[in-house]
Amino acid sequence: MPPEERLNVVYRVTNGLAQQMEKARIAEYTELLRSPWRLIWLNVLTGTARGVGVALGFTFFAATIIYVLQGLGALNLPIIGDYIADIVRIVQHQLELKNF
């Protein structure tokens, strides 16, 4: 194999590796690791965003469940109505026990 062809192969392999590293954003990751305060700040922001997202999601989910239970309670269904009444009694009993 002539030297020019070997050099061509090495160039193509090196170019392919460089493109793969660019796709993986290795340079940005190493820059982030070099500045720990930026890494900490990004983690704080990410954690806060996730916490707010979980809180909003749970609030929406709980409100939907309460809305459905209110609708079922208004129907006066025998089995479900008794179950909901038991839940309400348990919650009221727990609230009476806790004197703030």
Each residue of 12-57: pLDDT tens digit?
Answer: 999 998 888 888 887 788 888 899 999 999 999 999 999 999 999 9
Instruction: Tell me the C-alpha distance between 99 and 9, whole Å.
Output: 80
* pLDDT per position as a tens digit, 49-61: 999 999 999 999 9
Secondary structure tally for the chain: helices H, strands E: 4, 0
Closest CA to 71 of 81, 82, 61: 81
Is residue 100 pLDDT above 70, yes or no?
A: no
For the question of whether the overall pTM of this predicted structure is more than 0.75, the answer is no
